[in-house]
Chain A
Amino acid sequence: MLLWLDGAQNRAENPNENFAREFLELFTLGQGHYTETDVREAARAFTGWGVRGADRDALEFSNRSAVHDAGVKTFLGQTGRWQGQDIVRIAVAHPATGRFIAGKLFDLFAYPDAPTSAVEPFAEKFRATGGNIREVVRAILLSAEFSSDQAYRARVKSPVELAVGTLKAVQSSGIPEWTWRRLRRIGQELFSPPNVGGWTAGVGWLNQQTVIERLAFAAQLAHAPGETISNEALLGGVSAAQVRDDPGAVVDQFLLLFDDGRLGATARDVLVDYLRIDGADAATTRFAVVAAQRLRGLVQLILSAPLSHVG
């Protein structure tokens, strides 16, 4: 953040407000809970904060006291010779920060766009524990909200959640190399968000290109998963004869592999119809070849289906 938000340029004689502004807007209080004066005073207190080191991947925090503004600042109504850590302390203790952080965590673990009343208990937990994230997450995970109907399939999976969940479902022994390229194209390159505000979650993950790339992820996993994924785990040890004789049972087995099996009857019919080996193919020895193709196709289709992208 200090790199992106001009920490180096924030000096006593010429403060740069970038870091202070985003700290307040994106990471603590949220818009509407502070004034422009608060931003300026916080920027003064943050003067001197920067990074040092030649290797961009191994930078260290640096507090350059020579360029720090040691004067008196008034921030959120409190006056003192504040330094950067004082601004953090005062901001975290502000009630708006508890609501802001708890709201983000609730979005992430329970469901999005929750009413204030649903989030308030967790905001209170944040305040009561002095901003202990672990305790807030614990409270959310143990709450009735977490396992409510509202939380069921309420979130669009992020690209990373999609990839990790799928790789676990097929018992991959590691992360295939191609995953990183796919993730970038689906819209999430880890540690490289589009801007300091992070990714746009929810349906924001989905635009025409990223949707297509999600479908390509499903196709690649089904056809070229790489050596970390065994055919047996991917294809469930299903035989060609099972595909020919009872495609419905095979579909149900695979639905349990990738989801909880709850799929609308029409969508299930689509999958069964796809898997069914038609007359001419079923009558010859070719059916084994077709069955192998259809099984991979079934994996691809299930992973492509809308329900595979919510959780």
Chain B
Amino acid sequence: MQRRAFMQLSGGLMVMGASAPLFVSKTAHALQAATGTGVGGRILVIVQLAGGNDGLNTVVPYEDPMYYKVRPTLGVRASSVLPLTAGLGLHPSLAKFKDLYSAGDLRVVQNVGYPNPNRSHFRSMEIWEAGDPSDAAPQTGWLGRYLDANCAGCETAAMSLTSPLPQSLWRDHVPVPGLPDLTTVTRIGPGGSEAARRLAALKSLYATPDEGATVEAVRGRGLNAITAAETIQAFLNKVQTTGEYPQ
């Protein structure tokens, strides 16, 4: 399947393509405002494409006879790959990635795995995002544990643009906001002092401990969402964004 046809099929990706860059940029600004810039004033952006990528046809071992033996038709011809290093080259449609590679801005990590995968799709994804094949029921992710270990006390150490929160960001302590938007709620109903009174009561309800583990779990998540929404909104209100992005 051609990539373009795939993009047309996946409506969600089209939306991302049209709206993500501005949003990402604004969010990065908001994050910068929130964290007071982070290490060396820099922010790490992680784009996680969760799904099946054909690694062997992305980074092609074009000098390995075994590759052409097992892929007599699917294999990418040696003459068309974009060579990176001895025996390895990119699929011909990744020309811009080749440019990034040549400029030293792209690197490839190969052969990452763990012994004896059990082939369950769900378990495999869980292990990748947890970064730990030994834990039978991981409650944290590899990024989440980094945050817990290094970002205690950070007001907003990381943000996620996707819902639900990817497991890689699951953590014990450091809150990771998504992009909840409380105006989704407040634009319904009256405004003015009545809206403010109502929002105050809502926050009080979520600040009041209740009996029962499940109610408390709901309350905790709700409080987290309301707080994050207010924090993010305050930052977004301050940010001016300029610049154009490819569509």
Instruction: List A residues at the B interface (Cβ < 8 Å).
Output: 21-22, 25-26, 31, 36, 39, 152-156, 187, 197, 200, 203-204, 206-213, 215-216, 218-220, 222-224, 264, 266-267, 270-271, 273-274, 290, 293, 296-297, 300-301, 304-307, 309-310
Chain A residues, CB < 8 A from B202: 215, 301, 304
Known: A208-B163, A208-B225, A309-B218. A153 touches B212 (CB 8 A): yes
Binary interface encoding of chain B residues 98-142 relative to chain A, with 1 for a CB under 8 A from any of its CBs, else 0:
000000000000000000001111110000000000000000000
CB-contacts of B197-214 with A (<8 A): 197-198, 201-202, 204-206, 208-214
Contact between A310 and B214 (Cβ–Cβ < 8 Å)? yes
Q: Which of B72-80, B178-186, B234-242 contacts A (4 or more CB under 8 A)?
A: B178-186
Binding site for A on B (CB under 8 A): 118-123, 163-165, 177-182, 184-186, 188-190, 194, 197-198, 201-202, 204-206, 208-219, 221-222, 224-226, 228-229
* Closest 7 pairs between A and B when the two form their complex, measured CB to CB: A219-B188, A274-B201, A208-B180, A211-B225, A208-B225, A306-B219, A209-B163
Closest Cβ of chain A: how far from B81's Cβ, in Å? 27
Q: Is A206 a contact partner of B122 (Cβ separation < 8 A)?
A: no
Given contacts A212-B180, A216-B184, A219-B189, contact A270 B215 (CB under 8 A): no
Contact of B165 among A187, A207, A296, A304 (CB under 8 A): A207
* Closest residue on chain A to residue B198 by CB atoms: A297
- Whether the pair A207, B221 counts as a contact (CB closer than 8 A) is yes
- State the Cβ distance, B203 to closest chain A Cβ, in Å: 9
- Tell me whether A153 and B215 are in contact (CB under 8 A): yes
**Docked complex Cα distance between A26 and B123 (Å):** 12
A-B contact pairs, 8 of them (CB 8 A): A31-B118, A208-B180, A211-B180, A212-B184, A219-B185, A219-B186, A301-B198, A310-B215
How far, in angstroms, from A136 to B65 measured CA to CA in the complex?
A: 57
Q: For residue B228, which residue of chain A has the nearest CB?
A: A208
Q: Check if B182 sits within 8 Å of A212, measured CB to CB.
A: yes
Chain B residue with Cβ nearest A265: B208
Pair A212/B225 contact, Cβ less than 8 Å: yes
Whole-angstrom distance from the CB of B225 to the nearest CB of chain A?
4
Give which listed residue, A215, A264, A274, contacts B185 with CB less than 8 A: A215
A224 surroundings in chain B (CB, below 8 A): 188
Name the A residues within 8 Å of B219 (CB-CB).
306
Among residues of B, the one whose C-beta sits closest to the C-beta of A220 is B188
Which residues on the A side are within 8 Å of B212 (C-beta)? 152-154, 310
Cα A305 to Cα B197 with chains together (Å)? 15
Task: Provide the residues of chain B in CB contact with A223, threshold 8 Å.
Answer: 188-189
- Known interface pairs A153-B212, A219-B188, A293-B190; A306-B164 also in contact (CB < 8 Å): no
Q: Knowing A270-B201, A274-B198 touch, does A264 contact B218 (C-beta < 8 A)?
A: no
Question: With A and B bound together, what is the CA distance between A305 and B216 in angstroms?
Answer: 11
CB distance from B108 to the nearest CB of A (A): 28
**Cβ contacts under 8 Å, B122 to chain A:** 25-26, 197
Judge whether A306 and B198 touch: CB under 8 Å.
Answer: no
Complex CA–CA separation, A290 to B218 (angstroms): 31
Residue of A nearest to B213 (CB): A154
- Contact among B123, B210, B218 with A203 in the assembled complex (CB-CB below 8 Å): B218
Task: Tell whether, in the assembled complex, residue B164 and residue A200 are in contact, meaning their CB atoms are under 8 Å apart.
Answer: yes
Given A154-B214, A209-B178, A216-B188: 4 more A-B contacts, CB < 8 Å: A36-B119, A154-B212, A208-B163, A215-B182
A271 to B198, CA, bound (A): 10
- Shortest Cβ distance from residue A278 to the other chain B in the assembled complex, whole angstroms: 9
Query: Which residues of B lie under 8 Å from residue A271 when comparing CB positions?
Result: 201, 205
CB distance from A231 to the nearest CB of B (A): 15
Kindly identify which residue among A21, A31, A207, A264 contacts B210, using a CB–CB cutoff of 8 Å.
A264
Set of chain A residues within 8 Å of B228, measured between Cβ atoms: 208
Question: In the bound complex, how far is the Cα of B161 from the Cα of A275, in angstroms?
Answer: 37
A207: contacting residue among B163, B184, B188, CB under 8 A: B163
Query: What's the nearest-Cβ distance from chain B to residue A311, in Å?
Result: 9
B211 A264 Cβ-Cβ under 8 A: yes
For residue B152, give the distance in angstroms from its CB to the closest CB of chain A: 21
Partner pick for B164 among A21, A155, A210, A215, CB 8 A cutoff: A210
